[in-house]
Structure 1
Amino acid sequence: MTEELYPFLSARRSEVDTLAQVAESTREKIRDAIALRERVFDADSARLADCAEAMAERFARGGRLLAFGNGGSSTDAQDLASLFVSATHPLPAIGLTNDIAVITALSNDVGFDVVFSRQIATFGRTGDIAVGLSTSGSSANLGPAFAEARRRGLLTIGFAGGDGGAMAASRDIDHLFVVPSSSVHRIQETQTTLYHVLWELTLELL
């Protein structure tokens, strides 16, 4: 099985052949990552600018950013929040996966599908910003979170992969950025680039 997945690790291959295959595999991944980013930014550059303008308006009026996601997307949500908090001129941002006691309490006592919507209901105010990230676009706890954010008058922003999943069909997301790939790795890499650009644009507008 290992040889089928990683043929360049086979003991029957010379060290030179192995290194050459690893190098070519790396170059191929880099080419794929660059091409995907170019495709996404060609399609979404104008919408990124519009989204950044909407975010800047909210921040200028005292709004806060609430970011959320599951698994690797939870670390991206925390990274996004930390970018705004640690900027030269800090802006209020919270990662909704930061408080493990809240996450586990809601998961255990109510259900995992409400871990973000309950927090948005508690902390979210009209004029705030809700940003949800998912590689599939169909995370069960993101839909209720966006719906709650919409009810409370938050600006809603989503990052998804593939065909956008359930997020693409949602009417509760103001700005949705979809990375058209089936690779979780390429999706998360491109989403990271997207939200870093969004962060920089927002700061420039402020």
Structure 2
Amino acid sequence: MQDQIKNLFVEHLEVAKQSAEKLEDKIAQACKIITDCIKSGNKVLLFGNGGSAGDAQHIAAEFTGRFFKERKSLPAIALTTDTSALTAIGNDYGFERVFERQVEGLANAGDVLIGISTSGNSENVIRALKLGKTIGCHTIGLSGRDGGEMNEYCSPNIVVPSPVTARIQEMHILIGHIICSEVDAIY
């Protein structure tokens, strides 16, 4: 058991090292887009499925609550939290449209959409990002593996260099915390 625990730590640290080397510029780009959005009076909408839904909620809570320091609440919404909207839209339009319909109703030009998908290919995430681009939203992706279809709809798409879902998710929350730290530095 201890060997397995040690191996998982080593694997995590290797992905973190590769991510730090490969993703710094894209993370900085995302931080600038998000801080400019908030300074302009716009909001951040986040979404994903499963663990990525949890990450969306976690990051949104850091914005509306606080991260490190006391500051005013900042406009961020996780589109994964309204069970009535998720189930109604899923029932009436199909699960592939649960985020797209919310983006249609809530997003404005200049807002930032952050789509989270370890594969980069989740249809409901892709559909929301695609619509967001047509509305005039900035679209940022947190993905893994090869970035999938999100590469086409996100600028930047921050692709964690790993095929392992757990390692990708660990880096996504670290990247989310880095973004929150940069936002805290501005406010």
TM-score normalised per structure 1: 0.86
Aligned to 1:8: none
Paired AA for residue 153 in structure 1: G
Give the 3-state SS of the residue equivalent to 1:141 in structure 2.
helix
- 165, 179, 187: which one aligns with 1:184: 165
**Mean CA deviation greater in 76-85 or 41-50:** 41-50
State the 1:53 CA deviation.
1.2
Higher RCO structure, 1 or 2 (CA under 8 Å, sep 6+): 2
RMSD of aligned Cα (Å) = 1.1
Which string of whole-angstrom CA distances, capped at 9 and with x for unpartnered residues, describes residues 159-180 of structure 1? 1111111112x1x211111112
Aligned to 1:166: 149
- 136, 142, 150: which one aligns with 2:133: 150
State the 1:199 CA deviation.
1.5
Aligned to 2:26: 47
In the TM superposition, what are the counterparts of 1:1-206 in structure 2 within 5 Å?
22-87=1-66, 88-89=70-71, 90-168=73-151, 170=152, 172-206=153-187
Alignment check: 8 A CA contact 1:64 1:92 kept: yes
Paired AA for residue 65 in structure 2: S
State the 1:203 CA deviation.
2.3
The separation in 1 between residues aligned to 2:154 and 2:147, in whole angstroms, is 12
State the 1:191 CA deviation.
1.0
Structure 1: 5+ residue stretches without partners: 1-21
Paired AA for residue 45 in structure 1: E
State the 1:202 CA deviation.
2.4
Aligned length: 183
Give the 3-state SS of the residue equivalent to 1:203 in structure 2.
helix
Alignment check: 8 A CA contact 1:56 1:203 kept: no
Paired AA for residue 38 in structure 1: K
Give the 3-state SS of the residue equivalent to 1:159 in structure 2.
strand
Alignment check: 8 A CA contact 1:84 1:92 kept: yes
The separation in 1 between residues aligned to 2:112 and 2:102, in whole angstroms, is 13
Give the 3-state SS of the residue equivalent to 1:115 in structure 2.
helix
Paired AA for residue 157 in structure 1: I
The separation in 1 between residues aligned to 2:55 and 2:87, in whole angstroms, is 20
TM-score normalised per structure 2: 0.94
Name the % identity.
Answer: 32
State the 1:152 CA deviation.
1.2
